[in-house]
Amino acid sequence: MTCADPKKDEHNLIYKYKQYLLFEKSLSPHTLDAYLHDIEKLLHHLSTQGKSPLDVRLEDLEHFLASLHDDEIGPRSQARILSGIRSFYRFLVIDGYIEADPTLLLESPKIGMKLPEVLSVEEIDQLIASIDLSKREGQRNRAIIETLYSCGLRVSEACNLRLSDLYLNEGFIKVEGKGSKQRLVPISSRAIAEIMEYMTDRAEIDIKPGHEDYLFVSAHFKKRMSRITMFHIIKVLAEEAGIKKTISPHTFRHSFATHLLEGGANLRVIQSMLGHEDIGTTEIYTHIDAQRLRSEIIDHHPRNKRKG
C-alpha cells in the first residue's frame, strides 16, 4: 500500500481551485494570479508548521496573519491576502473537502479609510489644455484623459478599449470590466470629439497585427498601450501642467464619480457606470461628499469662521 504524497495532493487541490476561479468566478488573469499567490503564501506557512490546508483551524489562520504583520506587510495588503484565503476556503467547503469554513470568525485587519485623490473640473481642464498638440502623441493623450474622465474607466478598461466597442453616433461605448463583465457607458460629446481628432493621427501608425482593433495604441511600439505606459503618461502630464497632487489614471475615475455625486446623481447610477458589483464599493464617494460638505460648513458658517 502506497502512502499519499501531501505535495501531490496540494498540487491537485490548487489546480482544482484555479479551475474554479477561472470558470465559475471568471476572474481576470491579474486577480487570478494574486489569489493563487496568496494561497502559496499560506501553504508555505502551513508547511513550516507541519499542517495541511484541510486541517486548518482558526488559530492557525490567526498565526498566519500574525506572521504577515511580523514581515511588515501593511494592513491593506493583509486584508487583500485574507480575501484570497477566504475565497479558497469557500471553495473547499463548496467542493466538499471540508465541512466548516475556518475563516468565518477570522477578523480582518483594521484599515483606516484613505479617501482617493480627486481633481477639480478646473484642474482637469488645466491638464488637458497643457498638452502639446505639436507632438505626435499629443492628441492621443487628450483623447485618453477625456475618455477616462468622461466614462470613469479603470486603466485596464481604457487600454483594452477597441474600435469595435465604440458606438459614437449613439453616444455610448461598450466596456469589459472585471470578470469579463460588459457594460454600456455613455460618453460625452467632448470625449467623442477628442477621439475623432485622434483617429487622424492613429491612421498614420503602422499597427502590428493583432492590435489593429485597439483604440489607444503606442506610436513607438505600434501596438496596444500598456497600463504602465498610461500611468507614466499621466504622471508626466500632471507634472507639466503644474498639478501638485499625486495622480494616476484611477484619479480620473474617482473624479468622475465624485463630480457625478456632487451633481446629484443617484448612487445606484454611479455604481452601474463604474461597474461595481457591490454598492458598498461605491459608497466611498458618499464619504468624499460628506468631507466636502464639512469643509463648506467650516468655511462659510458664521460660528465656524475664524477671526481676522
- What DSSP designation does 187 have? -
Is residue 35 flagged as an active site residue? no
Which member of 41, 162, 178, 211 is catalytic?
Answer: 178
Is residue 276 flagged as an active site residue? yes
Is residue 224 flagged as an active site residue? no
What is the DSSP code string of 95-146?
Answer: TTS-SS-TTTTPPPPP----PPP---HHHHHHHHHTS-TTSTTHHHHHHHHH
Dihedral, CA of residue 230, residue 235, residue 239 and residue 240, to nearest 10: -10
Look up residue 5 and give its amino acid. Answer: D
Is residue 268 flagged as an active site residue? no
Look up residue 249 and give its amino acid. Answer: P
Which member of 142, 154, 202, 259 is catalytic?
Answer: 154
137 vs 77, 155, 295, CA distance in Å?
A: 36, 18, 39
Is residue 211 flagged as an active site residue? no
Please name the helix (run of DSSP H) or strand (run of DSSP E) that holds residue 173, with its range, or none: strand 172-176
Which member of 86, 253, 254, 259 is catalytic?
Answer: 253
Which member of 17, 198, 214, 285 is catalytic?
Answer: 285
As given in the structure block, the three cell numbers for residue 68 are 504577515
Q: How far apart are CA 87 and CA 64, in angstroms?
A: 16
Cβ neighbour number for residue 165 with a 10 Å cutoff: 19
Which member of 45, 174, 190, 250 is catalytic?
Answer: 250
> 139 near 201, Cβ under 8 Å?
yes
> 148 near 161, Cβ under 8 Å?
no
> 287 near 113, Cβ under 8 Å?
yes
- What lies within 8 Å, CB to CB, of 211 at 6+ separation is 217, 222, 223, 224
Is residue 307 flagged as an active site residue? no
Q: How far apart are CA 289 and CA 262, in angstroms?
A: 7
Catalytic residues: 154, 178, 250, 253, 276, 285
